[in-house]
Amino acid sequence: MGYALVLKYAYTKKKRWFSLIRVGIFGYGNLGRGVELSIKQNPDMTLVAVFTRRDPSTVKILTEGVGVYHVDSVLDFKDKIDVMVLCGGSATDLPVQTPFLAEHFNVVDSFDTHAKIPNHFENVDPVSKKAGKVAIISVGWDPGMFSLNRLMASCILVDGKDYTFWGKGVSQGHSDAIRRINGVIDAKQYTIPVEEALESVRAGENPELTTRQKHTRLCYVVAEDDADLNRIENEIKTMPNYFSDYDTTVNFISLEELKREHSGIPHGGVVIRSGKTGKDLENTHIIEYKLKLDSNPEFTASVIVAYARAAYRMNQEGACGCKTVFDIAPAYLSPKDGAELRKSFL
Amino acid sequence: MGYALVLKYAYTKKKRWFSLIRVGIFGYGNLGRGVELSIKQNPDMTLVAVFTRRDPSTVKILTEGVGVYHVDSVLDFKDKIDVMVLCGGSATDLPVQTPFLAEHFNVVDSFDTHAKIPNHFENVDPVSKKAGKVAIISVGWDPGMFSLNRLMASCILVDGKDYTFWGKGVSQGHSDAIRRINGVIDAKQYTIPVEEALESVRAGENPELTTRQKHTRLCYVVAEDDADLNRIENEIKTMPNYFSDYDTTVNFISLEELKREHSGIPHGGVVIRSGKTGKDLENTHIIEYKLKLDSNPEFTASVIVAYARAAYRMNQEGACGCKTVFDIAPAYLSPKDGAELRKSFL
C-alpha cells in the first residue's frame, strides 16, 4: 500500500515510549482541515489518512507525507486507524456515514441536528456495540461543551433556569439563506446576543425572553448592480424561521469589503444557569460558561480531537457502544495519567 | 434503633416506584447544613441521619423526623446509608475521617488543600477499593468545578494559558487571620479580582500577572474602642502570605454595620483559558467558566450532593476506589437516564 509510513510510537520527555493514536479524517472541508491542524498540536496523536469523495489527486492537505484516499478505500485501513473522525454534514452525510463506519472503527462525529440526536444514537449504538467499538456522537461546542454545561449546571442548581445565547458569530445557515435570494451575490450573517437580556440573566432576574429579545441578526449583503435593494432587504427581514422573528439589520456592501472584513468564521456564545438554594431559596447563584472563538471550525475540531483520544482510550479499556459527551469521564480527554491530573489540575 | 423511619421508595410523576438514595451527613456546620438543604431540593434523595461530635441533643437540624447521632455510632448505620457526605475541615478532620468512613460507606468529601490531594487520594484509594465502595474526594467548586474546567479547557486548547481568579468573595482564612490581631473584635475580608487583569486575559493578551496584579483585598474590621487603628492597619497590610503581596484596603466599621452589611458568605470566581489554533496559530479562542455565588457553603454543598448521587450510582454498577471529578462521567450526576439526557440537554 502506498500510504506514508506511520510512526506508531513516540518518545516522551519522561523517556518512555508510548503508542501514538492513529487518526483518520473522513471528509475534508473546514472541519476536516481543523481536525488536521489540531492533531498537529497533540503530540500523542498522528494523522494516518484523509478520505474524500472528490478525486484524491485534487485534494491538497497540510500534513506532509500523509495520503489522501477515496472514501471507497476506507475499509483497507481497518487495522491502521485507531479512531476515525467524521467531518461530514449532519443533514445527509453523518446519518449514513457514522453507522457505516462505526462497524469498523472507533468514531467521533459532530452530528448537530439537536432534535434528531436520539434517532442518530439509536442507529449508531447497536452497530458499535456489535463491533466492539466506541462511537462518540454530537461532539463540538453546541451540541458538546454547551450541552455538558447545561447538564452539569442543572444537576448542581436543581431549582433554576437555563439560558443559551449564541454569538457574536457567523451563522452559515443564515448566510446561505440570504445567498439564495434573487439578486444576491454573497452574504454573511452575524447572530448577536442582546446585551440587556444577558445582563438581566446574569443579575439572576430569571427573565422570560422571546426569540426577539434574545438575539439580533446583522447581515452584510453584496447585491448585483441592478438589483432592487429594498426588495432584497424586505425578503431577508420577512423570511420565516430565519429572520422574521428577529430584529434584523441589513447592510449592503461591496464584494471587496465583504472579503476584506467578513471572511472569518468567528462564533461563540454563553450558557448561563441561574438557580436558588437555602431554607427559603433566598440565595441566588449564577453559573456561566462562555466561548469566544476566532474560528468556529477550528475550535469544534479541537473539541473533537480531545474526544477522539477518549474514544480510543475507552475502547482500549474494553468499552463499546454509542456515547455522547455526557458519558465520558473528563480524565479520558487528557493524555496525562490520573496521578498527573490530580497533581496539576485539581 | 430510635432513628426516623426512612421511606426508601418514592413514586414519580411517571408513575413508577424508585429507590431513594439514602444520605448521611458527617459533621454539621455551614457545609453540613448546606448539604441538608440541597438534599431537600433533590427528590431522589433522602436524609437518613446527621452525625456530630457535639452532644447530639444540642444540635438542631432543619429536617423533621431525622435523627442526630454522635459520630461514635456511625457504624450502626452501615446498611442504612447509601452515601455518607463528609462535611469536616481539610486541616485535621478529613485526612482521618475519609479513609475511616470509606471502609464502610460510599463517601464524598470536599478536601480542598490542593497540594495534599495526591496524598489524600493515596490514603483513601486502597481502603475504598478493598471495601468495594466509591469515594469521591475534593468535590466543590475549587477544587471541583474549577478543576474540571481547567482540565477540559487545557485538553481542547492545547497551546494556551490558564488563569484562575477568585472573588468577589469572602475568604474565611483571611478573615480569621485579621481576627487574631490584638485589638480586633471581628473582621470580614473580601478577595476581589483586578478588573484590568481580567479584561486583558479575556482579550487574549496572555499577560504574565503577579499576585498583586491579579487580586486586591478589602477588609472590614471592628476594633476595640481604645485600639491603635494605625497599628492594626499596618499589621494587616504587612502580614506575610495573607496580605503583604497584595494591595489591601482596610476599613474600620462598627460591629452593627459588620453584622448588617457583611454577614453573608458570597464567593465566586472565574477560570479562563486562552488558546490558539490554526496553521500559524493565528486564531485565538477564549473559554471562560464563571461562578457568582450568594452562599459559598450552599453552592459547594449542591455540587457535593450531585456527586453523592454519582458515587451511589457508580457503586451500584460495580465501581469502587477513590475518584475525583475527573473520573466521573457527567451523566452520573443526573437522576435522569441516558435517553432523557440526550433528548433534553444535548
Cis peptide bond prior to A8, omega within 30° of 0: no
**Alpha carbon of B198 to those of A43, A285, B148, B166, B214: distances in Å?**
31, 21, 20, 11, 8
Window 132-171 of A: residues touching B by CB (8 A cutoff) are 138, 143, 145, 147-152, 154-159
CB-CB neighbors (< 8 A) of B38 in chain A: 158, 277
Q: What stretches in chain A show pLDDT beneath 70?
A: 1-17
Q: Report DSSP letters for A284-345, one per residue.
A: EEEEEEEEEESBHHHHHHHHHHHHHHHHHHHHHTT--EEE-GGGS-GGGGSSS-HHHHHHHT
State residue A4's pLDDT score. 44
Closest residue in B to A304 (Cα–Cα): B156
**Alpha carbon of B166 to those of B73, B170, B190, B313: distances in Å?**
39, 10, 10, 32
Supply angle C-alpha A26, B280, A90, rounded to 5.
25
Distance, CA of B53 to CA of B69 (rounded, Å): 9
Distance, CA of A90 to CA of B304 (rounded, Å): 37
Distance, CA of B126 to CA of B105 (rounded, Å): 14
Mutate to test the interface with A, among B61, B108, B272, B285 (most CBs of A within 10 A): B285
> What's the mean per-residue pLDDT of chain A?
95
Q: Report DSSP letters for A205-234, one per residue.
A: ------HHHHEEEEEEEEE-TT--HHHHHH
Mutate to test the interface with B, among A283, A288, A295, A307 (most CBs of B within 10 A): A283
- Please report where in the chains the cell 444540642 appears, as a residue: B58
Distance, CA of A111 to CA of A86 (rounded, Å): 9
What is the per-residue pLDDT across B139-160, written as a single tens digit (0 to 9) for each? 999 999 999 999 999 999 999 9
> What's the mean per-residue pLDDT of chain B?
95
For the beta carbon of residue A273, count every other beta carbon within 10 angstroms.
Answer: 23
What is the per-residue pLDDT across B253-276, written as a single tens digit (0 to 9) for each? 999 999 999 999 999 999 999 999
State residue A307's pLDDT score. 98
Closest residue in A to B270 (Cα–Cα): A288
State residue A5's pLDDT score. 47
State residue A8's pLDDT score. 65
Window 195-254 of A: residues touching B by CB (8 A cutoff) are 202
State residue B19's pLDDT score. 86
CB-CB neighbors (< 8 A) of A151 in chain B: 330-331, 333-334, 341, 345
B38, B159, B329 ranked by CB distance to A326: nearest: B329
Cβ atoms of residues A129 and A309 within 8 Å:
no
**pTM for the model:** 0.95
**How far away is chain B from the Cα of A101, in angstroms, using its nearest Cα?**
22
CB-CB neighbors (< 8 A) of B303 in chain A: 156
**Alpha carbon of A53 to those of A31, A35, A66, A74: distances in Å?**
15, 17, 17, 11
Q: Which residues of B205-218 are buried (b: 16+ CB within 10 A; e: fewer)?
A: eebebeeeebbbbb
A118, A294, A339 ranked by CB distance to B283: nearest: A294
**B219 backbone dihedrals φ, ψ, rounded to 5°:** -120, 135
Contact B326 A346 (CB under 8 A): yes
- Asked if pLDDT for residue B12 goes beyond 80, the answer is no
A156, A286, A298 ranked by CB distance to B292: nearest: A286
CB-CB neighbors (< 8 A) of B343 in chain A: 117-118
C-alpha cell at B206: 496572555
Window 29-88 of B: residues touching A by CB (8 A cutoff) are 34, 37-38, 41-42, 62
Strands B267-277 and B160-166: antiparallel
What is the per-residue pLDDT across B279-303, written as a single tens digit (0 to 9) for each? 999 999 999 999 999 999 999 999 9
CB-CB neighbors (< 8 A) of A293 in chain B: 283, 285-286
Q: Is A263 on the interface with B (CB under 8 A)?
A: no
